Structure 1
Amino acid sequence: MTKLSPNPVSHQKTSGFIYIVTTIAALGGLLFGYDTGVISGAILYIKQQFSLSSAGQEVVVSAVLVGAILGAAAGGLLSDRIGRRSSIILAAILFTIGGLGSAWASDSTWLIASRVIVGLGVGLASFISPLYNSEVAPKKIRGALVMLNQLAVTSGIVLAYLVDYGFSGVADGWRWMLGLSIVPAIALGVGMWFMPRSPRWLVSKNQGREAFNVLSRIRPSQANVEAEIEEIHQGIQQEQGDWRELGSPRIRKALIVGVGLAILQQVTGVNTVIYYAPTILQSAGFESAATSILGTTGIGVINVVFTIVAIVLIDRLGRRPLLLTGLVGMIVGLGALGLAFQLSNLGQALGWVAIVSLMVYIAGFAIGMGPVFWLLIAEIYPLNVRSQAMSIATVANWGANFVVALTFLSLTEWIGRSWTFWLYGIISVGAWLFVYYLVPETKGRSLEEIQQHWNR
């Protein structure tokens, strides 16, 4: 078990403008959630229009993940070169182009290509939005403000489910499902144009005066601004380096934690629920597409509610307690879901047992692995390699996501639904052990103070 030494948290007031800044940036998370969740309902109609096999459905669903891997891989270098704010604006442009292309797709190839473009935006936004928020947020509420991004992700998923349900009875409704993502995409691009650049990025580019001006807008006290600028300067002076620095022993420790969490977050199976929940519920007895989508919406609401619980608790209880508690819920939910599919005598009750099990599972994910992973990878890396290290962790996350999404339907055909969910449950047990022994507690520490942990 790894812990950082306790540190008293400042009780200074917080500037109201910081909430506007972080909320606008979190629209990147909403688009991340919408564009990954919307396909769950749309695929029920796309497979009919384009006569897709199980493998074809997996390719359409996974196309966004291919783009996300590429976007995340380029994001580290890009966000260092042009800045966090400009990278988020670029992601908004990609979301808009991909959304329009998906809505107008005349065949599966066009649709897949458009979903890859959407994925490029998802890959960028998935780590640059929380990175930006972590670098503008005061440390006493950094956890909550970074996790605002995950709340936006889960809200985007629920919004996608509601849109799916609303257009489930409309001719070519799937085109509206995919195309409506351009509305928040335009809002993100326009909103970020008026937001400040990251003060930590500005200092790293020797633009200290502009960094001071930015912090003066988002901090209530000039004395605190001067102290924070000095702390950032000291952190950068102590941490000069580049991509080669990623191989140093102290950063390698942080990489193991970040990449390990990235992979475990996905191979515990969460996106089988996000992408295939209506399909799972249809196999559990909810025959109509509209009914299964509506049941999925209930699961999405649970996701939002428990993400809010996590935001409330994260800076009170810390990161580790939420991770460990959430993983217990995931293990219980997966075990029950596998057992439900194993007991064929449940009859019509199977569908309701499946919904409850999925709700328990998603509640555990939403309070732990879902939001806390993105927070930790925005916290644990030194400033000079933070964007590169986050890029590596995000690529690993999307790569694992791609494997899970591409194999889920085939895996259920090969070993059965019960053993598929039990397999994810066994992996969740391994994730609990990983967190218990390797993941540090970062509550109440500045980003520069967290760096010192890896020097031990």
Structure 2
Amino acid sequence: MSTENIRDVMRGGGDRFIYVVSAMAALNGLLFGFDTGIISGAFLFIQDSFVMSPFVEGVIVSGAMAGAAAGAAIGGQLADRLGRRRLIFLAAIVFFVGSFTMAVAPNVPILVAGRLIDGVAIGFASIVGPLYISEIAPPEIRGGLTSLNQLMVTLGILISYFVNFAFADAGAWRWMLGAGMVPAVILAVGILKMPESPRWLLEKGRTEEARAVLNRTRSEGVEEEIAEIEETVDKQSDSGLRDLLQPWLRPALVVGLGLAVFQQITGINAVIYYAPTILESTGFGGVTSILATVGIGAINVIMTVVAIALVDRVGRRKLLLVGVGGMVATLAVLGTVFYLPGFGGFLGIIATASLMLFVSFFAIGLGPVFWLLISEIYPLSVRGSAMGVVTVANWGANLLVSLLFPVLTAGIGTPSTFWLFGLCSLVGLVFVYRFVPETKGRTLEAIEDDLRQNISMMD
């Protein structure tokens, strides 16, 4: 699309406008994914530049997770106070600073500081991206549009793998890490032309601004939607984060926290962060292992596109059940392959294929659906803060897994580590079946009404 066409879309309205706005907001996910994937390749060469203990190696890899937990802890409240649009801009600026710091780091402490700064930015981004899209998108396509954020996460991971491969021969890890400044600049410039969330505007009493945004993103029913949102705002005028502990909201809190933890303890980011290391153990060389991760990244993107196509047709619950069930099976195979004697050759091929299948099942289930659901199931007045609490749990679990994965493989062995992830996935499957609701096709206000009235949303 040309610059003039984009400008026309931004001045106009309708379907094209909402897709452009959602795609721009989804660049938050690109920052998230790029940071997740870039360290996997860069780390192979960082080890050649600095003398580090295994613990320090774990700190470098997991530093961004600690920063993300901190960013998520305050990001939700900032989203409620500053607005969704301003927080997106802030996330882009912070990510730029973090990427620059890592690129010029003269020593390990500065490198870790850069990872922490980058982490704060992706903590912001992981909350505000899906939150913004879910609040601006029409209900009938909200699932697909919100899942664009997860698609951008997978694209960010894939792009980072290409960047890693491009600089692998030279071992130029500084260029790998510094490349994150590019998407940060694109997001910062792009978000300046985006509208604010209409739901946030209505909550702040800025009705005419909200009406203008809705008129550009809806073909009909604008006044009815405004009335529905205002009614919800009136009900929640005195509410706050403490409402999450009230009986009517506990089911939503349990679902959000449960999915946040299971998304990580099933092992996905251990695979993403350490994919080249895992593939090296199957017989690939250093540069070849990085190239092989490109295939994993491509599968991740393709299956996320499949999930986006299905999430508003099949529903959130069914995708989760299929995805988590597939993860259980592939982790069982992975553990078995690494357990068998004479690992390598044909077994190495099976291990690589199993890794790809594992990522595929994650990409159609826990990957996109977790972020979509937590942007849907919380009341407007605490939506940002509630997503902050849940996202802190998600990043805390991410930090734990990324820090402990090398320890687990060294202590109990790679087979047992994958079986442990498989057991966690099995428990997660039971959790999804018992507790996760279906929100397909429902307005955010209708979902909240169901919670208030204790109406089951199970299929």
- Residue 255 of structure 2 corresponds to 257
1:90-109 Cα deviation digits (max 9, x unpaired): 00000100011111111111
User: Match for 1:56: what amino acid?
Assistant: V
- Residue 41 of structure 1 corresponds to 41
How far did residue 332 of structure 1 move? 1.3
2:280 equivalent to 1:282: yes
How far did residue 349 of structure 1 move? 2.3
- Residue 85 of structure 1 corresponds to 85
1:244-286 Cα deviation digits (max 9, x unpaired): 2222111122101101100010000100011000001112221
1:163-220 Cα deviation digits (max 9, x unpaired): 001100125x111110011111001011101100000000000111110111112223
- Secondary structure of the residue aligned to 2:438 is coil
- Residue 325 of structure 1 corresponds to 322
- Residue 135 of structure 1 corresponds to 135
User: Match for 2:280: what amino acid?
Assistant: Q
How far did residue 51 of structure 1 move? 2.3
- Residue 200 of structure 2 corresponds to 201
Alpha-carbon distance in structure 1 between the residues aligned to 2:215 and 2:129? 21
Structure 2: segments with no counterpart, 5+ residues: 1-12, 455-459
How far did residue 14 of structure 1 move? 5.0
CA contact (8 A) 1:267 1:401 kept: yes
- Residue 210 of structure 2 corresponds to 211
Alpha-carbon distance in structure 1 between the residues aligned to 2:57 and 2:348? 23
- Residue 111 of structure 1 corresponds to 111
How far did residue 328 of structure 1 move? 1.4
- Residue 191 of structure 1 corresponds to 190
How far did residue 313 of structure 1 move? 0.3
Query: In the TM superposition, what are the counterparts of 1:169-248 in structure 2 within 5 Å?
Result: 169-171=169-171, 173-221=172-220, 224-240=221-237, 241-248=239-246
Among residues 404, 411, 414, which one is paired with 1:417 in the alignment?
Answer: 414
User: Match for 2:287: what amino acid?
Assistant: A
User: Match for 2:115: what amino acid?
Assistant: R
2:347 equivalent to 1:370: no
CA contact (8 A) 1:338 1:418 kept: yes
Over 3 Å counting, the alpha-carbon distance change for 1:433 and 1:14 in structure 2 is farther
Alpha-carbon distance in structure 2 between the residues aligned to 1:76 and 1:346? 46
- Residue 150 of structure 1 corresponds to 150
Task: With the length of structure 1 as denominator, give the TM-score of the two structures.
Answer: 0.95
- Secondary structure of the residue aligned to 1:196 is coil
Over 3 Å counting, the alpha-carbon distance change for 1:68 and 1:338 in structure 2 is same
User: Match for 1:326: what amino acid?
Assistant: G
Alpha-carbon distance in structure 2 between the residues aligned to 1:353 and 1:69? 35
How far did residue 55 of structure 1 move? 1.8
User: Match for 2:417: what amino acid?
Assistant: T
- Residue 382 of structure 1 corresponds to 379
How far did residue 52 of structure 1 move? 2.3
Query: In the TM superposition, what are the counterparts of 1:386-397 in structure 2 within 5 Å?
Result: 386-397=383-394
Alpha-carbon distance in structure 2 between the residues aligned to 1:381 and 1:396? 16
CA contact (8 A) 2:87 2:124 kept: yes
CA contact (8 A) 2:265 2:421 kept: yes
- Secondary structure of the residue aligned to 1:38 is helix
User: Match for 2:266: what amino acid?
Assistant: T
Alpha-carbon distance in structure 1 between the residues aligned to 2:255 and 2:429? 13
> Which structure 1 residue ranges, 4+ long, deviate > 6 Å from structure 2?
none
Shifted more, 292-301 versus 50-59: the winner is 50-59
- Residue 5 of structure 1 corresponds to none
Structure 1: segments with no counterpart, 5+ residues: 1-12
1:49-70 Cα deviation digits (max 9, x unpaired): 1122322211100010111001
User: Match for 1:403: what amino acid?
Assistant: L
User: Match for 2:95: what amino acid?
Assistant: F
Alpha-carbon distance in structure 2 between the residues aligned to 1:367 and 1:15? 25
1:342-393 Cα deviation digits (max 9, x unpaired): 0122432232121101011101100000000000000001111111111000
Alpha-carbon distance in structure 2 between the residues aligned to 1:185 and 1:159? 14
CA contact (8 A) 1:332 1:360 kept: no
- Secondary structure of the residue aligned to 1:316 is coil
- Secondary structure of the residue aligned to 1:194 is coil
CA contact (8 A) 1:130 1:378 kept: yes
- Residue 16 of structure 1 corresponds to 16
2:416 equivalent to 1:439: no
CA contact (8 A) 1:285 1:350 kept: no
CA contact (8 A) 1:47 1:53 kept: no
CA contact (8 A) 2:304 2:363 kept: yes
How far did residue 47 of structure 1 move? 1.2
Percent identical = 53
Alpha-carbon distance in structure 2 between the residues aligned to 1:373 and 1:256? 13
Alpha-carbon distance in structure 2 between the residues aligned to 1:324 and 1:244? 31
- Residue 10 of structure 1 corresponds to none
Alpha-carbon distance in structure 2 between the residues aligned to 1:56 and 1:246? 37
- Residue 314 of structure 1 corresponds to 311
Q: CA RMSD in A?
A: 1.1
1:33-81 Cα deviation digits (max 9, x unpaired): 0011100000000012112232221110001011100100001111111
- Secondary structure of the residue aligned to 2:395 is helix
User: Match for 1:195: what amino acid?
Assistant: M
How far did residue 131 of structure 1 move? 0.1
CA contact (8 A) 2:76 2:127 kept: no
